């Protein structure tokens, strides 16, 4: 996503420059590139194999076995030694399930795992609120408070996007080694504190547009890493039959709150005559992120280096130990 955003920002340097394209043409070309890339992805995803777990739960055992065998062979070849034997004590039998009804989904989310639902909703809502608040108003801030021209804002967005891209790449490994619960808290906390620091400097008119963007880059370097892990978390702490549905539900819920954020911050920005309202808006965003990190730290699930079945019992299991911990 952020790699594409960086490319889009770089392209806009030229697309929005009236010396290259007419004012009513450049932005249309930018809009047109989106669906062109989308069409390419439709063909690309045809070559992505299905998850072996999905194949198993849909009665396609032979395909699942073939996929796992290919993965095991590639790992053995890379390591130069055979993989250890499978621990048969963890074996379980599942029955193919075509689809899961909405009543079952509601029972799992609200009754069986209410605390996990709270964690998933909180993480997704908080990051969506902050991202949309800054992402959709950054140009207004740069033009109304720092005097930049609209066409110049694309240049400042480029490092912002790069910071978001580098966050998960550099910090991602620690979520799987130290633990996602601890890392989500840390990244959300640091992101919120950096944003709060920039808020005070912004109110005092003590920073330039470049420094303001630098603060955004640092804040979202950490926020992007945490948000990326949040997406993975909500798809792994629920039964594997609900993985894709769970993330879609939480994402849709988060966008309701995310859609409100630009309207609120747009009102804070106004015509740029006063910095005080946006100052409090930035503190609000900081508090929202820190609050999301605290919820993840207290109620999150330790899933680092664990198999999905160890984190949550599948709905389609016929044998095996129950793991319905209601958390």
The predicted-structure confidence for 143-184, as pLDDT tens digits, reads as follows 999 998 877 787 888 888 888 999 999 999 898 888 888 999
Supply the pLDDT for residue 324.
Answer: 43
pLDDT at 209: 93
pLDDT of residue 197: 97
Contact 182, 296 (CB under 8 A): no
Name the maximum alpha-carbon separation found in the chain.
69
- Region at 93 (left for phi over 0; alpha for psi -120 to 50; beta for the rest): beta
Task: Classify 286 as helix, strand or coil.
Answer: helix
Domain regions of the chain by residue span = 49-88, 102-310
| Confidence (pTM) | 0.83
Determine the length of the chain: 327
* 317 DSSP β-pair partners: 94
- Is residue 119 helix, strand or coil? helix
- With left for phi above 0 and alpha for psi between -120 and 50, is residue 179 left, alpha or beta? left
Q: Within 10 Å of residue 96's Cβ, how many Cβ atoms?
A: 12
Helix axes of 180-203 and 114-135: crossing angle, nearest 10 degrees? 30
Rounded Cα distance between 232 and 230, Å, is 5
pLDDT for residue 318: 65
Rounded to the nearest angstrom, the gap between the alpha carbon of residue 227 and the centroid of all alpha carbons in its chain is 4
* CB-based contacts of 125, cutoff 8 Å, min separation 6: 253, 254, 257, 258, 292
Report the C-alpha gap between 168 and 159 in whole angstroms: 15
For the chain, the first-to-last Cα distance in angstroms comes to 31
d(CA 40, CA 290): 38
pLDDT at 165: 92
Tokens of 121: 């909703």
Under a CB-based contact definition with an 8 Å cutoff, are residues 137 and 266 in contact?
yes
If DSSP codes are grouped into helix, strand and coil, which group holds residue 141? helix
3-state secondary structure of 22: coil
Domain 102-310 class in CATH: mainly alpha
User: What's the CA gap between 246 and 254, in Å, rounded?
Assistant: 12
Low-confidence ranges of the chain (pLDDT < 70): 318-327
For the record, the structure tokens of 79 come out as 């390591």
């Amino acid at each position: 996503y952020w790699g594409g955003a960086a490319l889009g920002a770089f392209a806009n340097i030229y697309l929005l420059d009236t010396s290259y394209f007419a004012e009513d043409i450049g932005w249309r070309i930018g809009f047109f590139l989106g669906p062109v890339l989308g069409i390419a992805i439709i063909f690309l995803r045809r070559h992505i194999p299905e998850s072996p777990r999905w194949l198993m739960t849909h009665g396609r055992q032979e395909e699942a076995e073939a996929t796992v065998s290919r993965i095991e062979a590639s790992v053995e070849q890379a390591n130069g030694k055979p993989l250890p034997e499978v621990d048969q004590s963890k074996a379980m039998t599942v029955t193919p399930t075509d689809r899961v009804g909405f009543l079952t989904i509601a029972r799992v989310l609200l009754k069986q795992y209410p605390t996990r639902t709270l964690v998933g909703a909180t993480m997704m809502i908080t990051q969506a609120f902050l991202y949309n608040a800054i992402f959709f108003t950054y140009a207004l801030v740069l033009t109304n408070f720092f005097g930049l021209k609209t066409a110049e804002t694309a240049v400042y967005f480029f490092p912002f996007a790069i910071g978001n891209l580098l966050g998960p790449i550099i910090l991602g490994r620690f979520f799987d080694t130290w633990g996602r619960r601890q890392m989500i808290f840390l990244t959300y906390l640091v992101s919120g504190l950096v944003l709060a620091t920039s808020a005070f400097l912004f109110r005092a008119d003590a920073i330039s547009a470049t420094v303001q963007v630098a603060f955004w880059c640092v804040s979202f370097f950490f926020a992007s890493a945490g948000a990326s892990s949040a997406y993975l978390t909500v798809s792994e702490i629920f039964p594997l039959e609900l993985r894709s549905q769970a993330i879609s539900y939480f994402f849709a819920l988060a966008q309701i709150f995310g859609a409100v954020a630009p309207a609120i911050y747009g009102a804070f920005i106004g015509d740029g005559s006063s910095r005080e309202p946006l100052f409090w808006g930035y503190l609000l965003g900081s508090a929202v992120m820190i609050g999301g990190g605290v919820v993840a730290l207290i109620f999150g699930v330790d899933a680092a280096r664990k198999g999905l079945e160890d984190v949550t019992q599948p709905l389609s299991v016929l044998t095996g130990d129950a793991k319905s911990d209601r958390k």
